[in-house]
């Protein structure tokens, strides 16, 4: 049997990455509010449930029209990768969820970038990266 070495992140290593690449605004036990590429991001690590959540608010739910809702649903299918649009607490969010135990530094950084890109592309391409599945 070949042993594999996991290179997964911990809350401590995530905290270090956050300090290195963003401007921390508020910190708590397993949660951060940061500025990253001119956006406010919220990050939550839940070790008990093995999850990491990265999210940024886009627009109030009450300001969404029906066409926006269809566009974000279609984007979740073919224009977003690991980031997704989601509605919660009366807000449309750009959101990345991933198991903590499978999260590498590269994937974490990609998650940060996808969340920002998806939020910035709301109302335009609705893409989280250059990759699009299917046809437009």
* Residue range 63-117, pLDDT digits in tens: 999 999 999 999 999 889 999 999 999 999 999 999 999 999 999 999 999 999 9
Strands (E), 3-99: 23-28, 31-36, 39-46, 51-60, 83-88, 91-99
Fold of domain 11-120? Yope Regulator; Chain: A, (3.30.1460)
Retrieve residue 14's tokens. 């995530």
Q: State the pLDDT at residue 5.
A: 47
Q: Answer yes or no: is pLDDT of 7 > 80.
A: no
Mean confidence (pLDDT) of the chain: 91
Q: Answer yes or no: is pLDDT of 1 > 50.
A: no
Which residue, 13, 120, 17, is CA-closest to 75? 120
Q: Answer yes or no: is pLDDT of 56 > 90.
A: yes
Inter-helix orientation angle 105-120/11-21, to 10° = 50
> CB–CB of 54/41 below 8 Å?
yes
CA distance 121 to 86: 14
Task: State the pTM of this model.
Answer: 0.90
Q: Answer yes or no: is pLDDT of 4 > 60.
A: no
């Amino acid at each position: 049997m070949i042993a594999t070495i996991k290179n997964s992140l911990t809350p401590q290593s995530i905290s270090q990455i956050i300090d290195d690449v963003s401007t921390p605004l508020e910190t708590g036990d397993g949660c951060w509010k940061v500025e990253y590429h001119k956006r406010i991001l919220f990050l939550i690590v839940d070790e008990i449930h093995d999850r990491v959540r990265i999210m940024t608010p886009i627009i109030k739910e009450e300001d969404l029209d029906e066409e926006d809702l269809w566009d974000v649903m279609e984007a979740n299918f073919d224009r977003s990768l690991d980031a997704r649009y989601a509605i919660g607490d009366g807000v449309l969010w750009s959101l990345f969820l991933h198991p903590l135990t499978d999260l590498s530094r590269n994937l974490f950084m990609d998650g940060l970038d996808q969340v920002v890109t998806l939020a910035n592309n709301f109302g335009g391409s609705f893409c989280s990266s250059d990759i699009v599945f299917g046809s437009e």
